[in-house]
Amino acid sequence: VDLPALDRASEFPIYRQLHQALATQITSTKIPAGSKLPSVRELARTLSVSPITVVQAYDALIADGLAHASLGRGTFVGGPVFGLSPEGTRADPSESPQLAPGPNTEASQPQVSVHLRAPRISAMQSLLKPARKAEVISLAAGTPDPALFPTKTVGRLWSRMIATEDPSFLQYGTPQGDHHLRSWIAGRCRSMGINADPGQILVTSGSQQAIDLVARTFLGPGDHVLVESPTFVTALDIFEERGARLAGIPMDNSGAQPDAAASLVDRYRPRLLYTIPTAHNPTGISLADDRRRSLVALARSRNLLILEDDICSEFTYEGGPPKAIKTYDTSGHVIFVMSFSKTVIPGLRVGCVVADGPILGRLIEAKSLSDRFTSPLIQRTLWRYLTSHHYERDLEAARDTYRRRRDSILRVLADVMPQGVTWTRPAAGFNLWIRLPDGISATEAFEEGLREGVSCIPGDLCLAHDPPPSGLRVSFADNHEDVTAEGIKRLARAITRLLSSGRRARPESEFVTTI
Ligand SMILES: Cc1ncc(COP(=O)(O)O)c(C=O)c1O
């Protein structure tokens, strides 16, 4: 592979430059059919680009039919249908497109072409692999503390319910979900100012499934999706897996900037705007109220759907949670998604969608195609827990613990971080965002942190695309204050060392871009 010269100042995204350069070399047979392309990490390192950029370039080659990915083996020149025999001759195109007779055949490895890619999730998993050691403090998880899970109560309710309920409730159920649970959710929504009845609710297997159902139902290849930049990594993978293109709305301390959102809407005519307005992941920022209204007005005037992801507003530490965007929605443009993963137990896998009329109808169809319905046992147990006297008490106790942990991490950051490092002050949720001084990239800080024995999430993975500077996501909910404090001290040492080494960051102006 001849390494292309990449023009980082160009409007033409880096991944497309790379894709074009490789495509030219493949079609001119400079890279012969059957060759294995360099591994993502290797090429990313050589070109000083993010691994996601290479994955996107390879994906584009695959979409062109110029390359195929083989499970666990890498990316090879030539498509699966026109897969190459080990000798390099063209295979019979009438062969199954599923099974590519690939190069470097190993008896133990099936020759399977891969159509689903989740580049950010796999990049994150491989980045975090070295962090899975006992001596490394993880500030990377963004998960609730298992010590706070109401497992005993839920276990008791589960056993009692199995003993007493009519078994017919375990029959194949309706995709929309348990009526009792939907009634409870509707009541909760009304207490938040969202005008919902049980008929407007679909129970999902976690809110991640809700995002996936919305993407499957309303996005097609080439559609644009606006996202906050940065945002929830998995949502980016889900949208791109649908073939959607991402445009990132810049954020400031009050959240996504509505004027920027409006001009992106005019420019790209997106189908969907995905937002996490409260306890934003990864920054911890909550969107200002006037901006919530602006987004609804934008959606209505441009006939745009908003997917509002409310994963964590129950853990608001000062006053009550801000009003959901959905509360301002009078035209049915907002699809509201909630979850019980942070407030109860993530392993129950229960979330829900609140939407209006035909939109909900389509999502119910998508749910029935996906996993038919969420476990009725779990839904009913959850409902019994939510209606017990334990729920509000447990929630309050967890909120107090997380608030204490948030206050503690903010104190430690102020004590130990070197000059030039700033961070957000989350009013809700489990995460905050550390902004690095000029010249230090998120990847460098992450890697230096690992050397010190602390892990976090390098923010590049959470970006839809430009612009840097990026930052680090640090989670404070799942560790005791002392553990988090030690982790932050290690991170501060790592950043201080990078600052004093006088090293400049590698040019990293491309990050992830699909526009
Ligand atoms: C912003 C956001 N949305 C959705 C999810 C998915 O959560 P779950 O599927 O567990 O409800 C997460 C998980 O961390 C998240 O951070």
Give the long-range contacts of residues 347-350, CB within 8 A, separation 24 or more: 348/154, 348/378, 348/381, 348/382, 349/205, 349/206, 349/209, 349/374, 349/378, 350/181, 350/203, 350/204, 350/205, 350/206, 350/374, 350/378, 350/379, 350/382
pLDDT digits (tens, 9 = 90+) for 49-100: 877 788 888 888 887 888 888 777 888 998 654 433 333 333 333 333 333 4
Q: Which parts of 85-211 are beta strand (E)? A: 137-138, 201-204
Which ligand 1 atom is nearest residue 350's CA? 11
Q: Which of 232, 312, 352 to mutate to test the pocket of ligand 1 (most atoms within 8 A of CB)?
A: 232
| Euclidean distance between CA atoms 200 and 217, whole angstroms | 17
| Euclidean distance between CA atoms 512 and 118, whole angstroms | 13
Looking at residue 210, its pLDDT comes to: 98
pLDDT digits (tens, 9 = 90+) for 418-433: 999 999 999 999 999 9
The candidate with the shortest Cα–Cα distance to 324, out of 271, 270, 286, 283, is 286
- How far, in Å, from the CA of 208 to the mean position of ligand 1? 6
- Whether 514 has a pLDDT exceeding 70, the answer reads no
Q: 433: which strand partners?
A: 473
pLDDT digits (tens, 9 = 90+) for 371-380: 999 999 999 9
Burial class of residue 345, CB neighbours in 10 A (0-12, 13-18, 19+):
buried
Q: What are phi and psi of 164, to 5 degrees?
A: -110, -25
Looking at residue 504, its pLDDT comes to: 52
Q: Are 459 and 282 in contact (CB under 8 A)?
A: yes
49, amino acid identity: V
Of the segments 173-177, 246-250, 485-489, 507-511, which one has the largest average pLDDT value?
Answer: 485-489
Q: Which of 236, 237, 281, 370 to mutate to test the pocket of ligand 1 (most atoms within 8 A of CB)?
A: 281
For the segment 282-304, the average pLDDT, to the nearest whole number, is: 97
| Euclidean distance between CA atoms 297 and 302, whole angstroms | 9
Which ligand 1 atom is nearest residue 205's CA? 9
pLDDT digits (tens, 9 = 90+) for 153-199: 999 999 999 999 999 989 998 999 999 999 999 999 999 999 999 99
Tell me, using a 6 A CB cutoff, whether residue 308 lines ligand 1: no
Q: What are phi and psi of 68, to 5 degrees?
A: -140, 150
The candidate with the shortest Cα–Cα distance to 377, out of 148, 177, 176, 197, is 177
Tell me, using a 6 A CB cutoff, whether residue 431 lines ligand 1: no
Tell me, using a 6 A CB cutoff, whether residue 309 lines ligand 1: yes
Q: Are 438 and 469 in contact (CB under 8 A)?
A: yes
| Euclidean distance between CA atoms 213 and 110, whole angstroms | 30
- How does strand 137-138 pair with strand 454-455? parallel
Q: Which of 205, 209, 234 to mutate to test the pocket of ligand 1 (most atoms within 8 A of CB)?
A: 234
- How far, in Å, from the CA of 234 to the mean position of ligand 1? 8
The candidate with the shortest Cα–Cα distance to 349, out of 368, 373, 323, is 373
Q: Are 477 and 143 in contact (CB under 8 A)?
A: yes
Looking at residue 79, its pLDDT comes to: 65
The continuous run of DSSP H or E covering 298 comes out as helix 289-302
- Whether 341 has a pLDDT exceeding 70, the answer reads yes
Looking at residue 97, its pLDDT comes to: 35
The candidate with the shortest Cα–Cα distance to 81, out of 56, 106, 105, 64, is 64
- Whether 1 has a pLDDT exceeding 90, the answer reads no
- Whether 502 has a pLDDT exceeding 80, the answer reads no
Which ligand 1 atom is nearest residue 231's CA? 1
Residue pointed to by tokens 């107090």: 400
Confidence of residue 106 (pLDDT cuts 50, 70, 90): very low
Q: Are 206 and 374 in contact (CB under 8 A)?
A: no
Q: Are 393 and 192 in contact (CB under 8 A)?
A: no
